[in-house]
Amino acid sequence: MLFLLALACKHPADDVETGAVDTDDTTPPVLSEDDLAAIAAAVDTDLGASLASGCQIAVWKDGAIVYTAEFGKADPTDLVKLVTADMLFQIGSDTKKLTALALLQQEQAGTLARTDTVADAIPGLTLAASPEWAEAATLHDLISHQGGLYDDTPWDDNPADTYLHDRAFGTFAENEWQMAPPGAMWNYSNANFSVAGLAVETAAGKPYADVLEQDIFAPLGMTRTFARKAEVVADGNYAIGKGYTGSSADPYDPFFGASNYVEGRAAMEDVADNAFTRPAGLVWSTASDMASYGGFLIDGNPDVIDAERLAALSTPQVRMYPALDAQQYGYGLMIYDGVTLFDGYHDMRVWSHGGNTLSFTSTTWMLPDQHVSISILSNGYGDDFTPTAVELMMRLGDLPPVTDAPPLPSAETAHAALVGTYVDPYIGEMIITDNDGELRIFIPGLVDAGLSANGAKLTLALTDVYTFRFGGSTYDVTFVADDAGTYTWIRNRTVVGTRQTAFTKHAAPTRTRTREEQLIALAEMRAAQRFTPWATR
């Protein structure tokens, strides 16, 4: 019964040329001419407000693709080449729901189980800084983002299939650390799915990319989906993105890696393919294939996965915010109990998981009760096509009537329970104080680095969730209690602070984030914040 997605803001933009709209002439159209015009206008607006020069849209409804459309240019510097229906785009974190499915397929085959620990599934893998982690973290923890791992997302070019294993047992094992105990909280980390991909690869006895292509893409008829960049280059029909390219040091080797990134056209030869990052976000596909995959998640296919395990993907596994039941995470999917569209709140189930790379964006929405799956792929970094997606949702019909949105959990926890010193290996101390009834945050380590984060006011957004301004942006922090009800952690995607009295510092030294890690984290943070309670009310 709840809520979240305030998807309702549109922005002024310049007009762009649009490609052809494809519909099936043998069946009655599901969208009227007025609908199509409104959708095209929404796309024009969203393209004008993004880095993308073009996008590709597909809608699956009641068992078939019922609408496809292509808009704009396939290359930001080519004024002639248009986006086509079978052109490949990178889907970013939409890859995660593929990795989760692959893991559940291995469970069905009896080669592993979600209850297996990482130590069970990947013998010999251990973290030097957190040797207890592999024995405690389960595969369930990984694919529900409860693994507790620092968000390691290498973006250097290492495409060899063997690099998934080699990095995990090398640089990753030597330098990664546990930010919080596995299962303590939901905290988004690409590293969770990198390790899950290695577990799949180990269980299947073949490279992760082959697992996807042979066990998922082929049986589902996803003929325009590829796991390796080399296959995309060989195919030849791909979009060119706009975002960031350049050179960078590995984020762990040396620890304080330098990077030199430039914004602009991302030539294919400059788009990195990293086999360790691949299970978290480097698959290439088309909107039609991704919309059809959403349809598979709704309808199922017993030749691919049994119904019980398929349902687990879209079953809430963990709250994304501790006091909020209505926005949860499944396995590679965000699960909402309701949605606020342009016309108001609709009490209906919604599944979603978009994706960002350094030069592409994927937008995916599924309405299981309406039997609808929407995919929008664009060739820009950090694009926002949710207004276009909302236009599609509203014009496809069959939505429940607008109703009053349930109230948000907004009771404020007694400040005395939250005040204290929390420590993160990345930035050091995060000190929470109560100044005349106002919670404030002090981060001395950032001040030492020349960044001011001392005394920023924490503004209540939800129960135990606060926002504060830092560096010109708004960030959220969530206080998380342990099983005994003691507030033990304060988390943001980048950091997790543990109360000092319960904290044992690991060997991993404080480090800086490389430019590409900052870019991906920022894009995904902004995408997530579009669907948070404080953005909707």
pLDDT tens, residue by residue, 235-278: 999 999 999 876 555 554 433 344 566 789 999 999 989 999 99
- The reported pLDDT for the residue numbered 90 is 98
User: Lowest-pLDDT range, 219-228, 340-349, 354-363, 466-475?
Assistant: 466-475
The answer to whether residue 511 scores a pLDDT higher than 60 is: no
The fraction of the chain above a pLDDT of 90, given in percent, is 74
Q: Phi and psi (nearest 5°) for 244? A: -130, 135
Check pLDDT > 60 for residue 23: no
pTM: 0.91
Mean pLDDT of 44-50: 96
pLDDT for 494? 82
What single-letter DSSP state applies at residue 507? S
- What pLDDT score does 513 carry? 55
Instruction: Say which residue the tokens 């290439």 belong to.
Output: 284
Q: How confident is the model at residue 203 (pLDDT cuts 50, 70, 90)?
A: very high
Kindly state the average pLDDT of the residues 329-356.
95
Cis ω on the peptide bond leading into residue 254 (within 30° of 0)? yes
**Which residues, listed in sequence order, are joined to residue 462 by a DSSP beta bridge?**
465
pLDDT at residue 466 above 70? yes
Distance of alpha carbon 314 from alpha carbon 144, whole angstroms: 11
Backbone angles phi, psi at 415, to 5 degrees: -60, -30
Q: Which of 258 and 344 is assigned the larger pLDDT?
A: 344
Whether the predicted pLDDT of 10 surpasses 70: no
Please give the pLDDT value at position 525.
62
**Alpha-carbon distance 319 to 146, whole Å?**
10
The two tokens of residue 344 are: 């108001």
What pLDDT score does 514 carry? 58
3-class secondary structure, 140: helix
User: Is residue 12 over pLDDT 80?
Assistant: no
| Over residues 53-80, mean pLDDT | 96
- Is 407's pLDDT higher than 80? yes
Q: Is pLDDT of 5 > 60?
A: no
The pLDDT score that the predictor gives to residue 473 is 75
**Is the domain 415-462+464-505 a CATH 3.40.1180.10 member?**
no
Question: Do 108 and 306 contact (CB within 8 A), yes or no?
Answer: yes
pLDDT at 28 over 50: yes
Tell me, what's the pLDDT at 124? Answer: 98
| Token couple for 349 | 């189930």
Q: Environment class of residue 455 by beta-carbon count within 10 Å: exposed (0-12), middle (13-18) or buried (19+)? A: middle
Residue 11 pLDDT class (50, 70, 90 cuts): very low
Return d(Cα 232, Cα 271) in angstroms, integer. Answer: 12
Mean pLDDT, residues 321-345: 94
Average predicted confidence (pLDDT) for the chain: 87
pLDDT of residue 518: 61
pLDDT at 253: 40
Do you know the residue count of the chain? 537
User: Are 355 and 281 a contacting pair, CB within 8 Å?
Assistant: yes
Give me the mean pLDDT over the 346-356 stretch.
94
Q: In 34-141, where do the E strands start and end?
A: 54-61, 64-72, 89-90
Q: In Å, what is the CA distance from 222 to each residue of 128, 183, 275?
A: 40, 34, 21
Identify any residues that bridge with 329 across adjacent strands, giving them in sequence order: 318, 334
**8 A C-beta contact, residue 475 and residue 490:** no
